[in-house]
Chain A
C-alpha cells in the first residue's frame, strides 16, 4: 500500500470506542484518587502514596528502557538526589513541598550535562556506567555532614504539620507529580518524537540512516526520567520522613523498577502501571519475608525476561488486540475486499 494511492475504505484511526471509554474512565479514576485522603485513613493514605511512587518509578524506567532502549542500573542516583536535594533546600529555609518540586527540577538540570557523558555508551555499558554514577553520587552525599553523612537524616520541617495534614498534602503532591509525569510521557510518546523514539529502540542505526536524531531523542527521555525519579525520591522522603545514603542510593530501587516494568510489559504505556500495582500487592503481602521475597522478585524478573518478555500487559495486548489508551495509529480495513469497494 503506497501513501499516494490509499486503498478506499481503509480508515487510519487513533481512537476507537474502547480507548475513548477507557481514557474517560482512567481520567475519572485519576480524579477519584484525589479523594483518597478524605475518604481513607492516614495509614491507607501512606500506602497509596507509596503505590503512586512505584507507578511513577515504573513509568520513568519504562520511558528509558521501553521507549529509548536505555537500560539503566543507576536511576537511584536521581532518586537519592531528589531526596537529599529536598533536605538541603529545606535546611536553607525553603518550604518543604516547594523544595520537593525544586529538587526534581534540579535532577533534570543535572541530567543534561550528565547525558553528554553517559549517552556515549550503549546497552550494558550504559547500564553499569549509570550504576557507577549512582555509586559516586551516593559516596559524595555521604561525606556531607550537614546532610547527616552516612547515618542518614530526617525531614524535621514536616513535623510542624499535623500527621493527618502532612499525610494528605504529601499524597496530593505525589498524585500531582505522578499524573504530571504520566501525562508528559503520554504526550511525548504520541508525538512525532515518540515515533522516532520507538524507531531508535528497535534499530538505532536504521533510525539514524532515516534522519532520526538519535541522541537528541534519547536525551529528552533521559532528562524526563531524571526529573521523574528525582520527584519519586523527594516524595519517598516526604512519605517516610527518614533517609540514609545506603538505602536511597541503593541498587534495590533498580531491582524494583525492572520487576515492575518486566512483569507489566516493557514498552507499553499501561504495563508498568499494572506492574507497580502487582509489586505493591506483593510488598504488602510478602514484604516481611525478607530473603525469599527478594529471591522471588529476582526469579520472577528472570522468568519474565526469558519466557514472557512482553510482560502481562504486552502479552494480553498481542493476544486480544486491545488498546486502552490511544497511543498509536491503527488501520481499520473494511470486511469487504478493498477492490470491490473501489469499483
Chain B
C-alpha cells in the first residue's frame, strides 16, 4: 500500500470519525458540554442493531431504521431526566454525570451481551468487500465511500436544518444566548432535549458504520469518544464542516501512521491532535457563520 493510497484510505476513514464527532460538536455547540458517554451511546446503537438482526434477517443498514427512533427517544428522555438537571450546576457536574453514565452503559452492555468482540460486517453483504480499483496502487472501498457519503449527507442535512428551519433557528438562538432566547418565547429546555436526541441518533449511525467496517465490544466506546473529540478539536470547536475536516485529518494521520508501523495508528492521531492543540490558534479550521 503506497503513501497516496494511505491518504485516500484516511480520507474515507475520516467519514466515520466525522459521524461520531458531529453529535459531540452539536451538543457542545448548543449546550457547551461534552458528553463523555457519547462513544458508549454509539456502541449502544450498534448493539441495538445487533438485537434487531437477531429477530429479522435483513441488512444492518435496514436494521438501523427501527433503532433510530428508539435512540431519538433515549436521547430526549436522557436530556430531560438527567442532563438538564446537571446543566444548572456549573461545568463540572455534566462531565461527572456523563462519565458515570459511560461506566454504567459499558457494564450493562457487558452484562447483557458478554465481552465477545462482535462485527456486523458479515451481515452487511457485498458492500463490505466491493471496491473500485483506481490505479494499481489505489482502490476505493465501497463501504468507505458509503461512510463518507453518509457523513457528508448528515452534516449537510444538519447544516440545512440549522440554517433554514424554524427549529434550527431556535437552536442557534438558544446556543448563542439561552436567556435571551427564553425572553422571545423559546423553550430552551425543549431545544436542548432535541439537540441531544439528534446527537444520540447520529451517534448510533456512527456506531453502525463502526460495527460494519470493523469490530466492537462493550468497552469500545471510550476510544471512539477520544477520536470524535480529537476530530472536533482539530476541526475547530463548534463548526460542523470543520468537524468533517477534522475527522479527515485524523483519519489521514492514522492511516499514515499505520503505513509507517501498524502499531502507530492511534498514536499518530493523538500526536496530530496534540500538535494542533499546541499551535497558536488551537484548531486548523475556524469557520464562522452558520455553525451550531
Contacts and interface: CB of A to CB of B under 8 A. Distances in A.
A298 B92 contact: no
Interface in B65-118: 82, 85-86, 89, 91-97, 99-104, 106-108, 110-111
A291 B103 contact: no
Contacts of A125: 34, 233, 237
Q: Taking chain B's interface residues, is the majority helix, strand, or loop, or is none over half, making it mixed? A: helix
A292 B96 contact: no
B92 A71 contact: yes
B82 A306 contact: yes
Contacts of A59: none
B12 interface: no
Interface string B261-278: 001001100110110011
Nearest to A299: B104
Interface residues of B, number: 44
Given A262-B96, A309-B89, A135 B226 contact: yes
Contacts of A127: 34, 36, 95
Contacts of A255: 99, 103
B217 interface: no
A253 to B, nearest CB: 12
B1 to A, nearest CB: 22
Nearest to A255: B103
A322 interface: no
Given A120-B277, A127-B34, A295-B104, A135 B86 contact: no
B283 to A, nearest CB: 11
Given A298-B102, A306-B85, A136 B274 contact: yes
A299 B100 CA distance: 6
Given A251-B222, A291-B110, A306-B97, A65 B103 contact: no
B282 interface: yes
Interface in A118-140: 118, 120-125, 127-129, 131-133, 135-136, 139-140
B99 A258 contact: yes
A309 B100 contact: no
Interface in A286-316: 291-292, 294-295, 297-302, 305-306, 309
Nearest to A303: B100
A143 interface: yes
Contact of A258 (B96, B267, B271): B96
Given A123-B91, A291-B107, A297-B103, A128 B226 contact: yes
Contact of B95 (A118, A124, A298, A309): A124
Nearest to A150: B263
Contacts of B282: 120
Contacts of B100: 258, 298-302, 305
Q: Taking chain A's interface residues, is the majority helix, strand, or loop, or is none over half, making it mixed? A: helix
Contacts, number: 119
Given A69-B92, A124-B33, A125-B34, A302 B277 contact: no
A118 B85 CA distance: 29
Contact of B34 (A128, A135, A301): A128
A251 B271 CA distance: 19
B209 interface: no
B270 A305 contact: no
Contacts of A135: 226, 266, 270
A189 B278 CA distance: 30
Given A65-B92, A123-B95, A305-B96, A295 B103 contact: yes
Contact of A124 (B89, B91, B102, B270): B91
Contact of B273 (A73, A132, A266, A298): A132
A16 to B, nearest CB: 30
Nearest to B85: A306
A136 B226 contact: no
A117 interface: yes
Nearest to A305: B96
Interface string A248-266: 0001001100100010001
A131 B267 CA distance: 13
B47 interface: no
Nearest to B89: A309
Contact of A71 (B28, B95, B229, B277): B95
B29 to A, nearest CB: 13
A302 B97 contact: yes
A215 to B, nearest CB: 15
A71 B36 CA distance: 12
A122 B94 CA distance: 14
B107 A139 contact: no
Contacts of A291: 107-108, 110-111
25 contacts: A69-B91, A69-B92, A71-B96, A73-B99, A117-B277, A125-B34, A128-B225, A132-B229, A135-B226, A135-B266, A136-B274, A139-B263, A254-B99, A258-B100, A262-B96, A295-B111, A297-B103, A298-B102, A301-B103, A302-B96, A302-B104, A305-B100, A306-B82, A306-B97, A309-B93
Given A135-B226, A136-B271, A309-B89, 5 more contacts: A132-B274, A139-B266, A143-B263, A291-B108, A306-B85
